[in-house]
Amino acid sequence: MKDWDGLELAQRHPAWAKACFGIRGTATNHFMGEGWWAWVIPLKDGDFSIGVVFDQRFVTWPEGGSVGQRPKDFLCRHPAGREILEQATWIEDDVHWRRNLAYKVSTRSGDGFVLTGDAAGFMDPFYSLGMDWLTFTTMRAVDLIAAQQTGKPLAAEIERYNRDFEVSYDRWFDAIYRDKNSYFGEYDLMRLAFLMDLGFYYLGVAAQPYRRGESALRESVFTTAPSIPFFHLMRTYNRRFAAIARQRQRRGATGRLNTGRRFLFGGFTFSLWSGRHLVVALASWGWLELTEGWRSWWRTSESKCPTAILPSMVGKS
């Protein structure tokens, strides 16, 4: 692996090196393209965890070579991936391939059991929701177990647990992940979605335990009344971005706005002032609809597949 912050890359790409005042090498870095995304995470032993998550509708995975060679070949098709990974080597017995990674379960709790974390469902790890899902399910599971210990009747609580996390999983997926792979390769769409997904989640979900204490961790995401309008809003813009991306694919205009673009963002805080980024992003979405989105206003959804994440590769290099 090349050093993200090293002299070699800085000399070859001075504008890229100067644009970032932080250290890239200790961060989780992502690469993205049409129908796929990849992570590069530094590990403490000096190795890196590298993986590709892709959607079989859009991506033709390299056929030849070993399980380690294929993600390398794939990522080296990406200009930045090639820069970083051209000389990378993988650890032969630490490369894994998983097909159809996302899943949900129909019953999360019953007589004498309760499922939490990944056992209660798994989605695309793109926004790192795993620990949040784990927290929400575990908080409620602990309540169930505590109630059982006191001998309280549990049937209604078990039913509520099953219902809440079923609704939460489905809405979470619908609002954020459904068909997102369609526009992973579109800089402008992804930039807006990133701002809004992150902003609404930050201000609406992540801020709650800080404002209201741990009771907020018992409210599964998108199940409370105030969260429903945000669920609909998020689902709508994500659907629209997917539709706009599909329209671009039909016109042969995929990735036309990508070259030379860079978006560096300071991040959200829990202050309401942070909401200004959302206001700007919503206005930009409106403008996008008027200038381009109208082309797909009357087309029905063409999602070919009910789930958006299919196989994934996990490896170390």
| x/- map, 148-187, ligand FAD, by CB under 6 A | ----------------------------------------
Query: What's the distance, CA 22 to chain centroid?
Result: 23
Q: Which stretch binds ligand FAD (CB under 6 A): 62-70, 117-125, 254-262, 293-301?
A: 117-125
State both tokens at 249.
């694919």
Give the span between the Cα atoms of 292 and 247, in whole angstroms.
9
Give the span between the Cα atoms of 2 and 273, in whole angstroms.
39
Q: Report the nearest approach of ligand FAD to the CB of residue 32 (Å).
A: 15
The β-bridge relationship of strands 109-110 and 113-114 is antiparallel
Query: Is residue 94 part of the contact set for ligand FAD (CB under 6 A)?
Result: no
Q: Do residues 35 and 181 touch, judged by C-beta distance below 8 A?
A: yes
Query: Is residue 118 part of the contact set for ligand FAD (CB under 6 A)?
Result: yes
Q: Site for ligand FAD (CB under 6 A): which residue of 1, 10, 76, 134?
A: 134
* Diameter of the chain measured on Cα atoms: 68
Category of 229 on φ-ψ map: left (φ > 0), alpha (ψ -120 to 50) or beta: alpha
CA nearest 102: which of 300, 311, 301?
A: 311
Q: Which stretch binds ligand FAD (CB under 6 A): 61-69, 114-122, 205-213, 300-308?
A: 114-122
Query: Is residue 110 part of the contact set for ligand FAD (CB under 6 A)?
Result: no
Query: Is residue 131 part of the contact set for ligand FAD (CB under 6 A)?
Result: yes
Query: Is residue 51 part of the contact set for ligand FAD (CB under 6 A)?
Result: yes
| x/- map, 258-277, ligand FAD, by CB under 6 A | --------------------
Q: Report the nearest approach of ligand FAD to the CB of residue 126 (Å).
A: 9
Query: Is residue 128 part of the contact set for ligand FAD (CB under 6 A)?
Result: yes
Query: Is residue 35 part of the contact set for ligand FAD (CB under 6 A)?
Result: no
Q: Which is nearer to ligand FAD, 35 or 51 (CB)?
A: 51
Give the span between the Cα atoms of 120 and 114, in whole angstroms.
9
Q: Which stretch binds ligand FAD (CB under 6 A): 68-76, 112-120, 241-249, 285-293?
A: 112-120
Q: What number of chain residues touch ligand FAD (CB under 6 A)?
A: 10
Name every residue whose Cβ is closer than 8 Å to that of residue 178 and which is 6 or more positions away in sequence: 235, 238, 239, 242, 303, 308
DSSP H or E segment with residue 51: strand 48-54
Residues that bind ligand FAD (CB under 6 A): 51, 117-119, 125, 128, 130-131, 134, 314
